[in-house]
Amino acid sequence: MIRILAALLVSLAAHPQQLETFDAVWKTVADKHWNPKHLESLPGGGSWESLREPYRQRVQAAANQSEVRTILREMISKIGKSHYAIAGLEMKGNSAMRQGGGTSPGFRVGLVEGRVVVTGLNPKFTQVALGWELKAVDGTPILTKIEVAETLQTGLRLHQMLQNQISGFAGESLSYDFVLPGGLKKKVTLKMPERDGSSGFGFVQGVNVQREFALLGKNKDVGYFRLDMFLDVVRVLPQFEQAIQTCAKCKGFIIDLRGNPGGVAVMANAMAGWFVKDAGVKLGTMYQRGVDLDFAVIPRLNGFGGPLAVLVDSASASTSEILAGGLQDLKRACIFGARTAGAALPSVIETLPNGDLFQFAVANYVSESGRELEGVGVKPDLEVAHTRAALRAQRDLPIEAAINWVYANPSVALRR
């Protein structure tokens, strides 16, 4: 009896905080959604106002914070836009990293022709090869399906799920079961690398931002810079600048944003500045309620004026789409790969009264040509995808296509 009364008192004590949390979520959307008319007629029917009382009553009757979180997630899903999410305490800080990544094992995987295979390797990584099929991590079979309705953003969710499964804590050892070309099975045990100075943004904290610069092509005269998240600003931007300077005499330059879900939006402006010569150019406009902000590009001295290729795929989202779509509109870059995720809304993240994190969109992004990329994505100028046969032959077809385009278009230069 005492236990029951204690549990009841805890439940009653929690309700005010949970109702305060509900009110914070509902009011934040009502006050900060960039288009009030969208809230008057939601995609699934009804209005944001009509959701208030039914969902508030459900929160009031909820047994615990986890249940409240589920109810709130259901409510914000009715908005029908990207960049609305609620993360619980278990997703904060380093405790999130077993689910949210943290350190890469040295390779990347993707779903190619229905199989999870190695699609990318960090420089000097030799324990695994392109095209190997991954079957399990620490004895747990790799998951390849997401139990949600198929949308343009399914590719983004699948990519994140796969990378999460193969990633781990710094210093942790994980075993990977592969099937090699020809059917040979091989188990590889890898120790997750130590962090080289972790970075974070919102839900994702303590992450090693993977980046890579290389000189590719038959004469090592095509610059290549891969970035897997737009984070770690103070180190990534100087490294990108160094890559541009190293490539002053290159035939062309490639920016690889495949699998990059976004991050700090202003990094797109900064990176674009190395490829644009005229002032007054922008990647697009961010429309907030009553305020319009341009993604202005500030040209840099000694920028790169040769052919520029950008690689994207279905897991390229947010800031990746702003950079790729903006450069495409400016006719400054040729885009290769697959249509992007169509999750291009600028957002912020705040802490709720109950301690959870709430991510919400505050603006709509429209590219320079007037395209809304949310729910549409960036369509490549040349669609090209991995094949299992090519990967087993240690060939990355999108990179090859970009290099070939660079060599075939030596006269492509700064147009802005």
Does the structure show a pLDDT above 60 at 326?
yes
Q: Which CATH class is domain 200-408?
A: alpha beta
Q: What percent of the chain has pLDDT over 90?
A: 60
pLDDT of residue 4: 45
Residue range(s) of every CATH 3.30.750 domain in the chain: 2-80
Other Cβ atoms closer than 10 A to 167: 22
Instruction: Looking at mean pLDDT, say which of 4-8, 49-53, 151-155, 366-370 comes out highest.
Output: 49-53
Q: How far apart are CA 251 and CA 337, in angstroms?
A: 21
> How far apart, in Å, are the Cα atoms of 18 and each of 11, 319, 352, 355?
10, 33, 9, 10
Does the structure show a pLDDT above 80 at 266?
yes
Topology of domain 96-191, per CATH? Answer: Pdz3 Domain (2.30.42)
Instruction: Taking the CA atoms of 248, 254, 259 and 261 in sequence, report the sign of the dihedral they define.
Output: positive
Does the structure show a pLDDT above 70 at 411?
yes
Instruction: Looking at mean pLDDT, say which of 22-31, 362-371, 406-415 comes out highest.
Output: 22-31
Q: What are phi and psi of 389, to 5 degrees?
A: -65, -45
pLDDT of residue 103: 78
Residue range(s) of every CATH 3.90.226.10 domain in the chain: 200-408
Does the structure show a pLDDT above 70 at 11?
no
> How far apart, in Å, are the Cα atoms of 350 and each of 49, 222, 293, 347?
22, 42, 21, 10
Q: pLDDT averaged over the chain?
A: 86
User: Which residue is listed with tokens 């040979």?
Assistant: 184
Instruction: Give tens-digit pLDDT for 176-226.
Output: 999 999 899 999 999 988 766 555 554 454 567 889 999 999 999 999 999
The pTM (predicted TM-score) of the whole model is 0.85
pLDDT of residue 82: 87
Transcribe 371-390 into DSSP letters.
Answer: -B-TTT-PPPSEE----HHH
CA-closest candidate to residue 264, choices 222, 231, 300, 242: 231
Beta strands in 52-106, from DSSP E residues, in sequence order:
85-87
Residue range(s) of every CATH 2.30.42.10 domain in the chain: 96-191
Q: Which amino acid is at 142?
A: I
Structure tokens at 150: 């198929």
Give the pLDDT band (50/70/90) at residue 121. very high
Topology of domain 2-80, per CATH? Answer: Transcription Regulator spoIIAA (3.30.750)
